[in-house]
Amino acid sequence: MGCIKDVPTLRGDNYTEWRKKVDLAFVCAEVDWAVDTPQPPKPTEPVREDKDDDAAWEKKKREYAPLEMSYTLENKKWVTANKKCMAFIKNTIEHAIVDSIAECASVGKYLEKIKSQFTGSSKIYAIQLLKQLVTKKYTGGGRGIREHILRMSNMAAKLKPMDADLELKPALLVHLVMASLQKEFDTFVVNYNMQPERWDIEKIAMCVQGEDIIKFSYGGFLNYVKDNKKKNFNQGNQSSSSKPHGKAPM
């Protein structure tokens, strides 16, 4: 269970990622079977009836002995695995949250309660991601447009584990990326719209080449307008004979 350090602390909006890491930790520790396996039922002890003579009673006890031994071993194995899983889970949940979750005898039921409690949080988080995808704009800076595209792709990927119906089709994601580009990429977008084939998110990374062309045309600088204020981003230290459209940040 040493991989506990790789499991994020459950805070509310990261339930999907937390559960994936918890399941992986259980698999690595070979205790994942305890999640779906109920506690072994104790076998019914034999009862001596009035008609049973000594021989019949001894036979009943002999037949019960291996059942009792098997139960003892299986139950001990289950209790140990269940205890490890419960302790692991409780140590990866924020203290305020773990106190609000009702105690359960089995780790399987405990995980069901956690899932039920955070279903609403996951829906809220999904709505937030969708809003970000629709409204996100590329404003330059950072590591360039490649990083911008990867961020949008990662946000879209987070929707699928929450609900299969929320998975964005590649074509829709490409359109969202195109819509997020500033007017400096209008020529690129027009060229894309004129193409007969559809692009996937990998091919649209060709926008990087378009950014390089724009950067060269501005002498190594990209100017973006946001909130009616011009922002200048130095995209490299290469010198250019053309006059820059702004000062490089100090």
Q: What torsion do the CA atoms of 18, 6, 160, 31 make, to the nearest 10 degrees?
A: -70
pLDDT at 166 (0 to 100)? 66
For β-strands 229-234 and 221-226, DSSP reports them as antiparallel
Q: Per-residue pLDDT tens for 204-230?
A: 666 655 655 666 565 554 444 444 444
Q: Which residue type sits at 228?
A: N
Beta partners for residue 222, in sequence order: 233
What backbone phi and psi angles, to 5 degrees, belong to 146?
A: -60, -45
Are 185 and 204 in contact by the 8 Å Cβ rule? The answer is no
Q: Per-residue pLDDT tens for 140-187?
A: 766 677 788 888 888 787 776 665 566 677 778 888 888 888 877 787
Instruction: State the DSSP H helix or E strand holding residue 217, giving kind and residue range, or none if neither.
Output: helix 207-217
What backbone phi and psi angles, to 5 degrees, belong to 135?
A: -100, -10
d(CA 204, CA 223): 22
The structure's pTM equals: 0.51
pLDDT at 76 (0 to 100)? 97
Give me the tens of pLDDT residue by residue for the chain, a chain 250 residues long. Answer: 566 778 899 886 788 889 999 999 999 999 999 999 999 999 999 999 999 999 999 999 999 999 999 999 999 999 999 999 999 999 999 887 888 888 899 999 999 988 887 765 566 667 777 888 888 888 776 667 778 888 888 878 777 666 556 667 777 888 888 888 887 778 777 777 777 777 766 666 666 556 556 665 655 544 444 444 444 444 444 444 444 444 434 4
